[in-house]
Amino acid sequence: MIVGIGTDVVDVDRFAASLDRTPALRGKLFTPGEAVLPLRSLAARFAAKEALAKALQAPPGMAWHDAEVIREESGRPRFEIRGTVLEVATTLSVQRVHLSLTHDAGIASAYVVLEG
């Protein structure tokens, strides 16, 4: 059963300008493992976190570091969730989180499906 669906699109140049304007934003949004990635990967991960929040019905108080996008050995992205995000997912009876990322032509996007 589908519990939630979320999608988000990020303009990579606009995202870069936000990071340049507010340098602390990188540390607020991303874990240390994510923060060192190239810009387009960061934009895709931000889109993923936004899509996840939408799929979880935009819970207040969600900590950005509680949803980390990691890459499996195969290259497939997946979320590692903990803390505030895990609490909401558990409340919604989420069993699996499906994630798709893409970036091309200056746009990064993500799609999240929550399965219960």
Instruction: Determine the average pLDDT of the residues in 39-55.
Output: 97
| Percentage of the chain exceeding pLDDT 70 | 100
Contacts of 74 (CB under 8 A, 6+ apart): none
Instruction: Determine the average pLDDT of the residues in 46-52.
Output: 98
Q: What is the mean pLDDT of the chain?
A: 96
CATH of 2-115, one of 1.10.1060.10, 3.90.470.20, 3.40.1160.10, 3.90.1310.10: 3.90.470.20
Please report the pLDDT score of residue 76 as a whole number.
95
Please report the pLDDT score of residue 58 as a whole number.
85
Question: What are the sequence ranges of the domains in the chain?
Answer: 2-115
pLDDT band at 34; cut points 50, 70, 90? very high
List, for residues 54-107, the tens digit of each pLDDT value: 999 987 889 999 999 999 999 999 999 999 999 999 999 999 999 999 999 999
| Percentage of the chain exceeding pLDDT 90 | 96
Q: What is the reported pTM?
A: 0.94
Contacts of 100 (CB under 8 A, 6+ apart): 77, 110, 111, 112
Does residue 36 surpass a pLDDT of 90? Answer: yes
Phi/psi at 63 (5° precision) = -85, 125
Q: What's the 3-state SS for the chain? A: CEEEEEEEEEEHHHHHHHHHHCCHHHHHHCCHHHHCCCHHHHHHHHHHHHHHHHHCCCCCCCCHHHEEEEECCCCCEEEEECHHHHHHHHHCCCCEEEEEEEEECCEEEEEEEEEC
